[in-house]
Structure 1
Amino acid sequence: MSVPITSRVRLNERHHKAALSVFLFVVIAHWAEHVAQAVQIYALGWPIPEARGVLGLPFPWLVTSEWMHYGYALLMLIGLILLRKGFTGRSRTWWNIALAIQFWHHIEHLLLLVQAMSGLHLAGRPVPTSVIQLLVPRVELHLFYNTIVTIPMVVAMLLHRRPRETELAVMRCGCALRTA
């Protein structure tokens, strides 16, 4: 199912600023969950199975569900794709960097989901394992992935809010702090 062109146009013009705000809130909330989990492990000394972030404490299935993790990775990828057209110039470059990193992160989660569904795990591991997870533990890896997607995304948003004159001239949304 594809999003009608008129809806994408409105999203990247009239509703771009609001859509970016909602998207950024979701991304930062997810990133904060990974930070909370890392604090639980490294500052509070909790065992990894008990360190489930904030939402994972009352809802432990959130941490163990590969479907939920894949769904979030896919949602992020779709959001980055749908909101991309609203960016110009330097901000588009940074947004594309976030999109490329998220595409790989999505592939890693797809691999984890396929392993969880099939019961066949990478490299004979006892649990679903991503490619980079062969080198870096899962908690640290996903905190890293979410950080390296969030940083260029935030840079893109800051540059988008403060465009150069040439970028402002081609912007079709009201995200800029100043107008032409």
Structure 2
Amino acid sequence: MMTAIPMSTGLTGTLNGPRHRTALNVFLFVVLAHWAEHIVQAVQIWVLGWPVPEARGVLGQFFPWLVTSEALHYGYALVMLVALWVLRKGFVGRARLWWNIALGIQIWHHVEHLLLLIQVQSGWFLAGRPVQTSVAQLIFPRVELHLFYNTVVFIPMVVAMILHARPNKEERARMSCSCARA
């Protein structure tokens, strides 16, 4: 029989041990709130027919700079990357595989935002475009691309959380948190 994975001490150990469920719930709330903003923006464009510059989600209607701040978007991508990395240690088995998939996709999403931030800071724009442009944005429109990125990170993340809450016998024996349902 396998034994539980030993957890490190300190904040990382706490977040992946006794506070793993709380940390995951807080992270999930942040991710859902961000994803909801992208959904609202998409509805504003495709259902309500708003021009893209006016479709700023909910918060962007009150704080328009949120939508145009590349530093803020990069910061969110970095927070996502760090949270996926830090909370990864609490996952085992099948859940770890799915969490790793979300992490891998987020690494690329982070690189895209880093590229956008560098362009804003330097004034150099990819492929001679008039504004900052990510690699995938050379093919796909920005609004659709970021909705896609957030979706493809979210789906494996949720699969991982479901599998984590419903581990098989071997996985349950290796867990160092109390996330598993009875």
TM-score range, shorter chain: over 0.9
1:5 deviation in Å? Answer: 4.4
1:7 deviation in Å? Answer: 1.4
Letter in 2 for 1:119: G
TM-score (norm 2): 0.95
Unaligned stretches of 5+ in structure 2? 1-7
Work out the percentage of aligned pairs sharing the same amino acid: 68
Aligned to 2:178: 174
1:87 deviation in Å? Answer: 0.2
Aligned to 1:31: 35
Is 1:59 the counterpart of 2:63? The answer is yes
Aligned to 2:52: 48
Unaligned stretches of 5+ in structure 1? none
Q: 1: distance between equivalents of 2:9 and 2:137?
A: 39
Which structure is richer in relative contact order (CA contacts within 8 A, separation 6 or more)? 2
Q: 2: distance between equivalents of 1:174 and 1:157?
A: 13
Is 1:125 the counterpart of 2:104? The answer is no
Is 1:98 the counterpart of 2:122? The answer is no
TM-score (norm 1): 0.96
- Poorly superposed stretches of 4+, deviation over 4 Å: none
Is 1:16 the counterpart of 2:27? The answer is no
- From 82, 85, 98, the equivalent of 2:89 is 85
Q: 2: distance between equivalents of 1:126 and 1:25?
A: 35
Aligned residues: 175
